[in-house]
Amino acid sequence: MTHALTDTAAASLGDLDTLIGYHLRRCSGVMSAPFARGVAGTGLRQVPFAILSVIAENPGIRQGAAGETLGIQRANMVALINELIEAGYVDRRPAEDDRRAFALYATTEGAEVLRRCTRSITEQETRVLAEFTAAERGTLLKLLRRIEARERG
Amino acid sequence: MTHALTDTAAASLGDLDTLIGYHLRRCSGVMSAPFARGVAGTGLRQVPFAILSVIAENPGIRQGAAGETLGIQRANMVALINELIEAGYVDRRPAEDDRRAFALYATTEGAEVLRRCTRSITEQETRVLAEFTAAERGTLLKLLRRIEARERG
DNA sequence: TATTGTTATACTCTATAACTATA
DNA sequence: TATAGTTATAGAGTATAACAATA
């Protein structure tokens, strides 16, 4: 046991520590734990959960529009939507004004699961970020939303 | 063309918009574009780049310690380190005091590529975040580092 | 011609279990 | 017995190209 100095201490990141993209990716990984605890037992994952939320909030939304809102490519939406339908969380009906398109709706069960999960995830996030004030969480959210608005950069 | 209302406007996110984990994941995706432009031509990707940075900053660091610093599992480090070695960016030497372990070093080329990429990525990030003041970027970095410190939550 | 959804496919990152050789 | 590195494998998310049906 001769490695006392570097035993538990994390090594230096170097200039990596100044890169916002690195920290965003890392933090995203950290926050996947409270998410997982929040949706435990539902079979939901991060992206399907996000899709369900958008569908519940925008009844009748087209598959492509839901994907655009979340930055998900059309090709990847297909399996994700099928999965939500098979789980009984989403309903798909032919769009009335465009026979190419589908209109999506959250089922009663989907809406209920979504509500429960959203509350639970929020609790878990608040627990992980217990040292953050509400104002700090608000500041963070605002900054992140501004980055998303820069999507085309 | 009857979908004038929802033509380019993003649909509402619902309560998803209040979840920090969602925004972190999304922002991470947004910032992968400036990263990709910054490392273009080097063959580096996000995780190998981060590993190279830690190795360059901590000459002789063990494979496991580098992984711990970045939250990368031992099992996943193997191929990543091999890749960096094959690219000529990293050197691996047997550790002197532990014949199980390897000591890692950035090569001259690795250090140069790292320096160039870091500068270039920083430029690209600054461009994407042009509407952010230096103070705002600093605030964001501080908040993100605090989340990382909560890794076990 | 352009758009909606689709299929096929590949890549990146992450996760777990079981193994080896050293400690 | 514990640790450093390894192998194998699977899951989750993202990316591109090409196609059918409809606009």
pLDDT tens digits along A29-60? 999 999 999 999 999 999 999 999 999 999 99
Q: Which residues of B touch A31 (CB under 8 A)?
A: 20-21, 24-25, 147
Residue partners of A150: CB distance under 8 A and separation at least 6? B30, B128, B129, B131
Look at residue B9 in the predicted model and tell me its pLDDT.
66
Q: Is B27 on the interface with A (CB under 8 A)?
A: yes
| Model pLDDT for residues A88-145, shown as the tens digit of each residue | 999 999 999 999 999 999 999 999 999 999 999 999 999 999 999 999 999 999 999 9
Contact flag, residue B81 CB and nucleic strand D, below 7 A: yes
pTM, 2 dp: 0.94
What's the CA A104/C1' C12 distance, rounded, in angstroms? Answer: 30
Mean pLDDT within B43-65:
98
| Model pLDDT for residues B81-98, shown as the tens digit of each residue | 999 999 999 999 999 999
- From residue B78, alpha-carbon distances to A62, B40, B49, B65 in Å are 43, 24, 15, 13
A119, closest residue in chain B (CA to CA): B15
Q: Closest nucleotide (CA of B76 to C1')?
A: C14
Can you tell me the distance from the alpha carbon of A146 to that of B12, in angstroms, rounded to the nearest whole number?
16
Q: Which residue is nearest to nucleotide D15 (CA to C1')?
A: A73
B95 within 8 A of B140, measured Cβ to Cβ = no
What's the CA B76/C1' D2 distance, rounded, in angstroms? Answer: 21
Look at residue A107 in the predicted model and tell me its pLDDT.
98
Q: Which residue is nearest to nucleotide C9 (CA to C1')?
A: A75
A55 within 8 A of A105, measured Cβ to Cβ = yes
Look at residue B122 in the predicted model and tell me its pLDDT.
98
